[in-house]
Amino acid sequence: MKALVTDPIASAGIDLLREHGHEVETAYTLTQAELLEAVADAHALIVRSGTDVTREVFEAAPELRIVGRAGIGVDNIDIDAATEHGVIVANAPEGNVRAAAEHTVAMAFATARSIPQAHITLTGGEWAKGEFLGTEVNDKTLGVVGFGRVGQEVTKRLSRLGMDVVVFDPYISEERAAQVGAELVDTLEECLTHADFLTIHTPLTEETENMIGEEELAQLEGGYLVNCARGGIVDEEALATAVEDGLLRGAAVDVFASEPVSPDNPLLDVDGVIVTPHLGASTEAAQKNVAVSTAEQVLAAFEDEPVANALNAPSIDERSYPAIEPYIGLADTAGKIAVQLLDGRVEFVEVTYAGDIAGEDVDLVTASALKGVFQPLEWQVNAVNAPRIADQRGIEVVESRTRQIADFQSLVTVSVGNSEEEVSVCGTQFAGNDPRIVRIDGFRVDAIPHGHMLAVRNADEPGVIGFIGTVLGDAGVNIAGMFNARETIGGEALSVYNLDDTVPQDVRDRLDSDDRLIDTKYISLDNGEE
């Protein structure tokens, strides 16, 4: 088979493919039109960040089985288009973890001791020993935003050098943080106010874009910021101003919102900001590791074997698939609903199967439930990598089955929670591919899992439902369906509303102002029309 490599990778990966008898063509300077021609007969495409793998690429490549990204980020690959065309997309997230962690540590020391500035001054002929008074990391507090693989490796290294570590990550357990020697905090603000040094290790998503702005930098007053994760997470203008005005003592940045970085980027003009051109993974060992890992995944795809880091390739026995297929999306949606109803941190996920489905191979359904729970974490999470994310973040996953069931032929329940609270959402399939949410925390409902939902816990009193309908109506929010259940007469009730529109925050605030409403949660599902 043929593999087309359009960005430079270490020769070890190319050699591995050739050793297994496959043809490898390298073409590093293709225009987009030339790429469409070159990929026409390729079975694998291997890229880094320099090649845009668009929908047109997949349409031009009828033989393509896999796109291998020699690195972590897949922003340049249209994964939806790949899935539609039956093409696996796989990355190499492990290969450069050590390199990225070491570069982060190096940048922290460089900014704390003004090493580049001192070097430039000295090579310019000035012995300015008294101008550079550094900061020791010993007995200082490191704030870590995002506690994935790189964040944990940075923590291990700097904690051994005498730093206390606080972590903000809504998807990590206290136990996992403690295992690595860190204290988990509940808010970004708490992490910022405790930190002397702040280092960022989150993906760039809608949730994290410009997450660190002027207000957040003010909470880090007197500290240092290091970003070797992704550009766009930190407001570059605000960071430049904070360092230039002396609000921060320094910053070190390896990534930028737009790369290659523009010469007029404000970070380039501030003496207290150290910059490097996205060198986090630029070590010989890291480049070899990601090249070999990518090649191994291409080989697995060629042999129709499981691809370890596939981002869009569920694996299931063809004979079992018809029985479980209706529940894959339902479990995903139940997970999304459950995590949006939970107020606290996710420490465990339990997926329970009852009835006929309990006798099937449900690994893919469980993985889809985890995908729904973890969707806000990083955009490329899917049914393949969700179990690995749970393991890496110390989240307990429990799967249970029972053949005993009343009322339904099959029932899937997704429960999420922690030591203080738990939320459970049950779903089933009616005849004709008609998915329904039938219970929320024991309340019997009959909600269509689609679009926009509002779940309201309220006192079972006259006029409550009318009040909710009036508030929504006044805001122009149309109710497509409403389902009400209660514990006892005059006790607590739960109402679930299917809506045609989003619910603005001011509308939610108006609902919450009524003492009869115990809890109001707006739920947005990805299959809804915005």
DSSP secondary structure of 214-225? HHHHHHTTT-EE
**What's the rounded Cα separation, in Å, for the pair 130 and 112?**
15
Of 258, 254, 259, which is closest to residue 278 (Cα–Cα)? 254
Q: CB–CB of 354/314 below 8 Å?
A: no
User: Contacts by 221-224 with C-beta closer than 8 Å and gap 24+?
Assistant: 221/247, 221/248, 222/196, 222/247, 222/248, 222/249, 223/195, 223/196, 223/197, 223/198, 223/248, 223/249, 224/108, 224/111, 224/112, 224/135, 224/196, 224/197, 224/198, 224/248, 224/249, 224/250, 224/251, 224/252
The arrangement of strands across the sheet holding 492-499 comes to 479-486, 492-499, 452-459, 517-524
**What's the rounded Cα separation, in Å, for the pair 254 and 450?**
41
**What's the rounded Cα separation, in Å, for the pair 23 and 302?**
12
**Tokens representing residue 412 in the block:** 């899937």
**What's the rounded Cα separation, in Å, for the pair 247 and 239?**
9
- Cβ neighbours around 358 below 10 Å, total: 18
**What's the rounded Cα separation, in Å, for the pair 432 and 435?**
9
**Tokens representing residue 29 in the block:** 């300077």
DSSP secondary structure of 202-271? ----TTTTT-B-HHHHHHTTT-EEEE-S-TTSB-HHHHHHHHHTTSSSEEEES--SSSSPPTT-GGGG-T
SS3 category, 382: coil
**Tokens representing residue 100 in the block:** 């990225």
User: Could you give the residue numbers annotated as active site?
Assistant: 230, 259, 278
- Burial (Cβ within 10 Å: 0-12, 13-18, ≥19) of residue 258: exposed
Q: Would you report the helix, strand and coil content of the chain in percent, each value rounded to 5?
A: 35, 25, 40
3-state secondary structure 424-440: EEEEEEECCCEEEEEEE
Geometric angle at alpha carbon 69, from 57 and 47, rounded to 5°: 55
